[in-house]
Structure 1
Amino acid sequence: MNAAFSRRTLLKAGAAGTLLLGFHLPMARAAIGTFEPNAFIRIAGDGTVTLVMPQVEMGQGTYTSISQILAEELDADWSLVTVAHAPPSDKLYGNPFFGIQVTGNSNSIRAFWDPLRKAGATARALLVQAAAQQWKVDAASCRAAKGEVFHDASGRKLGYGALAAAAGTQTPPENPPLKAVKDFTLVGQPLKRLDTAGKVNGTVKYGIDALPPGVKFASVTLSPVQGGKVVKVDDSKAKAMPGVRQVVVLDDVVAVVGDHTWVAKQGLAALEIEWDDGPNAKISSADVWNDLRAASQNKGAVAKEEGDADKALGDGERLDAAYEMPFLAHATMEPMNCVVHVTADGCEVWIGTQVMSRVQAEVAKALNLPAEKVIVHQHLLGGGFGRRLEPDMAVISARIAQQVATPLKVTWSREEDIRHDVYRPVYRDVISASLKDGKINGWTYRVTGSAVLARWFPPAYQKDIDIDGVDSAADIPYGIPNLRVEFVRKEPGVVTTGFWRGVGPNNNVFAIESFIDELAHKAGKDPVDFRVAHLDKTPRLKAAVQLAAQKSGWGEKLPARTARGISAQVAFGSFISTVVEAEVDSSGEVQLRRIVSAVDTGIPVNPDTIIAQLQGGLIFGLTAALFGEITIKNGRVEQSNFHDYRMLRINEVPPIEVHLIPSEEHPGGTGETGATAGPPALGNALYAATGIRLRRLPIDRDILAGKKPA
């Protein structure tokens, strides 16, 4: 990272002799010779190219792959490329899919592919024009490569740094020519990540590393039941502790401020707090599931309908099933944290967030300030998975910091983090299908659960349909002549639900791919052959299924109680098929032996990043399938840390192979596809190994051991 290029530097428009490009949105000129019409590319007089990142880096490699796209069309010298966080601005850095500044939905590359390429190509054209004007030659006779412009006829060349100021006097072309895929030199290469060195030597800053001068530290506890309030607090023991500076009591939050986090944590533990648990005090998981199951019996809003599904269900062999998915927490390695300094005339925030402009807006609202009075400093994220799509940590921190004179660093303990998450919703999916001549003839699918988008992005919730809730269901890849897909909204009330590395797809792909497997067995077909027979309309997925089967040794003999299961999906613009090989012992314990994925994700910007994302996603999703569940008792989340919210350990992770299918299609997303692919493939493997079909996650080892019925 280029530490000298801060968010404040960008807002002040940089230094003279700098070229700054991006979208065609004018910005004020700060000094003579500075060119700043837009937002992504900054070229200094020494030739250094700083690329301003519209998306955030939370471990997925986005900063590197976005830089590859920009540098490719810019023809930059990769060795001179550095990156900087973008400041909060929906206007300059709004995600093209949403119109707001957000990183999520596995769309950093697929959403910004076209605008970033145009931004890079425009910058290159302006540099070439500047050189041609200086040499008094036709720009068409010049070319750019590795940070220089060449005029081959005369043997002349100029570096980008020398041309930066002059490029600012040129008129941008409306439609600069983009490179052909065959001419790419950076895109498609497994370049080393730009953030690796700083992570190794400790120079990069995560949100939890932010320590402005004079900062004090706070540990926080929220009402253990959502909707509860503080009745009274006895803080005498805490205030008697050396290093404890202050106790802040709000209506639903209590914080202890100290000289360091440990004393703040000890002070918090010494408090005696009486809570009014409010209207959710008696609710438990059984109540949530009873309500959800009842709601799933109602007809839903129709998201897609083709043919006559009801008639087709009566024509052929019918199969009915219901699948259920539990609440899940994110448990990011970097727990929730934020630094806030509230002053008489404004506020500064230091945070790692997926929604920078929303953090700015919500903190401003909480403090009754104009948005421009809130300065947000972005940092790297130690994991997001959708959790940092919420501004709640910044808002809570701002409310506490409003009572404190110094900058305040608020950190949630792991217990507070897990018990006050924004959880992946519980879902129930009811499916019916009919088989005729060995193929699916009729299909009805009803998903019941939260409408996360109705809360998070209301414009996307129309006609009682959450488009994320039916993602990978309304656009099912299989050829089915008669189908209907419905959505029933049912909010749990006792907790807030949100995005969790896939949300709709990781629910729907599990249910659909488990049910497709059931249909294959009912039809007496091999699960691979059955899928392939229904994928004529989706040839890219068919190819992925066939490659995954080939690479995994599908059909080869395995030991007793060991089997392979397969899944296939189109999600986030990518086509992926996964085979999980698993063994089940007599006690129901599951050992993962091997995972093979084949993926067509379009043009692979950075193959290493794609493979790493899929590997990480598969581990994330399989962890949830094997262990993940958040339960409620008397309004309270029962899990608190990794002893009862279990993670796969390194010795439990099997070899994972990822095979990329060559493609020149528009890039797809990979951040969430692995998380959605693993669970159904595992479930199908367990059925093949034991003959027991599990329709609810996480897997029940007692059922696999035969200790209770499925």
Structure 2
Amino acid sequence: MGFETTRRGLLAGGAGLMLALTLPIGRGRAQVTVAGPFAPNAFIRIGTDDLVTVMSKHLEMGQGPYTGLATLVAEELDADWAQMRAEGAPADDKLYANLAFGAQGTGGSTAIANSFMQMRKAGAAARAMLVAAAAQEWGVPAAEITVKAGVVAHPGSGKTSGFGALSAAAASQPVPEDPPVKAPADFVLIGKDRPKLDTKAKTDGSAQFALDVYRDGMLTVVVAHPPKFGATVASFDDKDALAVKGVQMVRQIPSGVAVYATNTYAALKGRDALQVNWDESKAETRGSAELFEAFTKAAQAGGTTVEEQGDLAAFTGAAKTLEAEYHFPYLAHAPMEPLDAVIEVKGGKAELWYGCQFPAFDRPTVAATLGVPVEDVQINVLLAGGSFGRRAQGSAHLAAEAAAVAKAAGADGTFKLLWTREDDIRGGYYRPLTVHRFRAGLDDAGKIIAWENIVANQSIMMGTPMEPMLQGGPDSTSFEGSTGLPYILGAKRIGWARMESPVSVLWWRSVGHTHTAYAVETFLDQVLEAAGKDPVAGRLELLPPEATRERGVIEKVAEISGWTGRTRDGKGYGVAYTKSFGTYVAQVAEVQDMGGVPRVTKVWCAVDCGIAVNPNVIRAQIEGGIGYALGTALHNHISLAPGGEVEQSNFHDYPMLRISEMPAVEVAIIASEADPTGIGEPGVPPLGPAMANAWRALTGRAQNVLPFGGATS
């Protein structure tokens, strides 16, 4: 999806002890409205204490929007970094829509990209209003007033003021319709390392997550979900559950059977005592081996063409043809904070507290479930302990379940819905199980003259409220990264076979690129080796001359890693390149053989994400993405036993990367004046193929089935 960084958001002013504003979208003259200090309706609040609070329209789940958006505002406001704060904006599509989606939500690494100009304009407008207020109060021309590090000054008269003393007067000033912003050469904060704004609160325990919310009379609720995907409740016996001390009631809801209790322990014990008979007539009863068999046959059949260039008859003239097949398992997101939410229903209105990633979907879902107007549903967006796509639910199933829990109670009340780690790991909404089939043809000179890639997996978007975004076309998230490659590959065809299963699937950090990058970059590496080409030089040869940003990251990672070839000093070296979410990334992995198991000792990464708003956050996201991808490639898979039940349940059999397994990481950020692009996800895709290419260079063994630690099919 595209977006315009020059598009303006909605602008409204505020009064009282703060200044609140956003920028108008396609409007004429901006209007000033009143907003109280405890119910801001905009992006910026300036208190009498000089503190500037930025209302983040993007969920903070560890990827840094609180810090990034505050940096954009502070830059144009000319604030001091020490006075900046951030909070999650409440659910409100009109004020806080993601300009990439047209609705409020966080995902696709769009937080900074879609907000870049919007938040800068908001900061510039606030600055202009403070300057106008000072000019009026001091009786001097506005052009003679300066703002630096949070101080408004008139050098000629020596008068100075902080923001707070001017905020009430500034709120009555006309709102600039299109305030000018700085040129990159004038940036003071953008491009500089800054500590994340939420680190202190997360360190001292004052940060608020849904688990920290307690309301008077609140009941804790856990739900017994079907053990097989697609199964439903046939009947249940709650006698033993109700006998557990603290259990207040048991109710059937659309997603299962809910147990309500005065505390978490009682709720879990009550659920353990519950007896449920499940109707499995529409359930998935195939195991992983059967699913892979079906998906493989579909890939072999060729699928539907989603990209085509030239004539694949070129294969008949190939001097050498290479083929490969890749199997990727279902993957759980496994964030440190499993799903949870607090909902309070009172007098026909509902208020919720949780790490809500897509308020645009969740708010109307709650309203429809409860049968109340959307405006009577308030969502307070709290911090989330990770997500990696798990809370970005097109189906809004968590919000629907919370609302169903409240509705089934039959009376007003407050309810904390909790998913355990086992609920999370076994609860579906996985990265889709995927099969890739490849073939490539080389001529006598080792030039690639034909390329075919068939992808078979389930669609994430079809059958959800997001399907209209596809405009009748195929679900590109299923094969993105297989299409639109920058390499010159001769005649080529990319096919997609859409598979069906009751197993629920969802985006997973970097979505389709997680498997396409691995498959494309490892197969390409084998093809280049067969052609007698170096992995770095071979990739550069395949790029057209105008592919400068692609070349930039590949050449840079080769430089910082001291690339000399596939092996040296008993270690293997592998390179991989991907472009995802508008960001160009190349990585080199250094691998040792530890008794038949790969040990990644160092990773070099070059990244071009446009203007680097905060290099500290960029490096952190690349490092975190590398760790997340490495743990997954080494250890993780969700497998279904024959009959359809998930075999994994917690971190003992779905392990996270240990700190002792984390390699040293060196990140080079390419200097750029291009508009910022995403960074939360692009660090993930290249790691797996870079590691696999290094492992094959070292051992001669290609890893076409993930994870490395065990077969999944």
What is the TM-score of this pair, normalised by structure 2? 0.91
Residue 172 (structure 1) shift: 3.2
Amino acid at match of 2:428: D
Amino acid at match of 1:435: L
Kept after mapping to 2: 8 A contact 1:296/1:428: yes
Question: How many angstroms apart in 2 are the aligned matches of 1:698 and 1:506?
Answer: 13
Residue number in structure 1 paired with 2:392: 389
Name which of 33, 48, 60 aligns with 1:29.
33
Kept after mapping to 2: 8 A contact 1:43/1:50: yes
The answer to whether residue 169 in structure 2 is matched with residue 166 in structure 1 is yes
Unaligned runs of 5+ in 2: 1-11
- Flag the 1:373–1:638 CA change in 2: closer, same or farther, 3 A: same
Name which of 303, 311, 314 aligns with 2:314.
311
Residue 312 (structure 1) shift: 6.5
Amino acid at match of 1:607: P
- Percent identity over paired residues: 38
Question: How many angstroms apart in 1 are the aligned matches of 2:19 and 2:490?
Answer: 55
- RMSD of aligned C-alpha atoms? 2.6
The answer to whether residue 413 in structure 2 is matched with residue 413 in structure 1 is no
1:196-211 equivalence runs, <5 A: 196-211=199-214
Kept after mapping to 1: 8 A contact 2:406/2:415: yes
Question: How many angstroms apart in 1 are the aligned matches of 2:244 and 2:529?
Answer: 66
Residue 601 (structure 1) shift: 1.7
Residue number in structure 2 paired with 1:638: 647
Q: What secondary structure sits across from 1:361 in the alignment?
A: helix
Greater shift, 114-123 or 314-323, is seen at: 314-323
Amino acid at match of 1:506: T
Greater shift, 389-398 or 303-312, is seen at: 303-312
Kept after mapping to 1: 8 A contact 2:89/2:380: no
Name which of 434, 439, 449 aligns with 1:427.
434
Residue number in structure 2 paired with 1:478: 487
The CA deviation string for residues 36-85 of structure 1, in whole angstroms up to 9 with x for no partner, is 99721122233221111010110112101110011111112222222121
The CA deviation string for residues 109-139 of structure 1, in whole angstroms up to 9 with x for no partner, is 1121121112212222222233334444443
Question: How many angstroms apart in 1 are the aligned matches of 2:655 and 2:39?
Answer: 49
Name which of 608, 622, 634 aligns with 2:630.
622
Kept after mapping to 2: 8 A contact 1:29/1:35: no
Question: How many angstroms apart in 2 are the aligned matches of 1:439 and 1:157?
Answer: 69
Amino acid at match of 1:507: H
Residue number in structure 1 paired with 2:149: 146
Residue number in structure 2 paired with 1:529: 537
Question: How many angstroms apart in 2 are the aligned matches of 1:571 and 1:35?
Answer: 39
1:268-667 equivalence runs, <5 A: 268-311=271-314, 314-315=317-318, 317-390=320-393, 391-404=396-409, 405=411, 406-436=413-443, 437-454=445-462, 455-491=464-500, 493-535=501-543, 536-555=545-564, 558-560=568-570, 562-586=571-595, 588-633=596-641, 634-667=643-676
Residue 496 (structure 1) shift: 0.9
The answer to whether residue 213 in structure 2 is matched with residue 217 in structure 1 is no
Amino acid at match of 1:677: P
Q: What secondary structure sits across from 2:267 in the alignment?
A: helix
Residue number in structure 1 paired with 2:101: 98
What is the TM-score of this pair, normalised by structure 1? 0.91
The CA deviation string for residues 344-378 of structure 1, in whole angstroms up to 9 with x for no partner, is 41222111121123211111111122111212121
Residue 702 (structure 1) shift: 7.8
The answer to whether residue 263 in structure 2 is matched with residue 260 in structure 1 is yes
Q: What secondary structure sits across from 1:388 in the alignment?
A: coil
Amino acid at match of 2:422: E
- Flag the 1:511–1:44 CA change in 2: closer, same or farther, 3 A: same
The CA deviation string for residues 621-661 of structure 1, in whole angstroms up to 9 with x for no partner, is 11111122111231222211112212221112222222222
The answer to whether residue 240 in structure 2 is matched with residue 237 in structure 1 is yes
Kept after mapping to 2: 8 A contact 1:23/1:92: no
Question: How many angstroms apart in 2 are the aligned matches of 1:14 and 1:625?
Answer: 50
Unaligned runs of 5+ in 1: 1-11, 704-709
Name which of 692, 695, 698 aligns with 1:683.
692
- Flag the 1:284–1:483 CA change in 2: closer, same or farther, 3 A: same
Kept after mapping to 1: 8 A contact 2:14/2:171: no
Amino acid at match of 2:652: H
Residue number in structure 2 paired with 1:670: 679
Residue 403 (structure 1) shift: 3.2
Residue 283 (structure 1) shift: 2.1
Kept after mapping to 2: 8 A contact 1:332/1:382: yes
Amino acid at match of 1:525: K
Question: How many angstroms apart in 2 are the aligned matches of 1:130 and 1:440?
Answer: 66
Residue 105 (structure 1) shift: 0.8
- Flag the 1:265–1:565 CA change in 2: closer, same or farther, 3 A: same
The CA deviation string for residues 581-605 of structure 1, in whole angstroms up to 9 with x for no partner, is 222344x322222222121222111
The CA deviation string for residues 378-431 of structure 1, in whole angstroms up to 9 with x for no partner, is 110001100001221221122122233531112111111111131101222223
Q: What secondary structure sits across from 2:686 in the alignment?
A: helix
1:12-27 equivalence runs, <5 A: 16-24=16-24
The CA deviation string for residues 277-333 of structure 1, in whole angstroms up to 9 with x for no partner, is 222253222332233222223454444334445437735533232322211001111
Amino acid at match of 1:90: D
Question: How many angstroms apart in 2 are the aligned matches of 1:174 and 1:442?
Answer: 54
- Flag the 1:519–1:163 CA change in 2: closer, same or farther, 3 A: same
The CA deviation string for residues 679-699 of structure 1, in whole angstroms up to 9 with x for no partner, is 111111111111111222212
Kept after mapping to 2: 8 A contact 1:20/1:35: no
Question: How many angstroms apart in 1 are the aligned matches of 2:311 and 2:284?
Answer: 46
Question: How many angstroms apart in 1 are the aligned matches of 2:86 and 2:17?
Answer: 18
- Flag the 1:318–1:174 CA change in 2: closer, same or farther, 3 A: farther
Amino acid at match of 1:407: T
Question: How many angstroms apart in 1 are the aligned matches of 2:177 and 2:481?
Answer: 37
Residue 473 (structure 1) shift: 2.6
Figure out how many residues of one structure are paired with residues of the other and give that number.
Answer: 689
Greater shift, 249-258 or 308-317, is seen at: 308-317
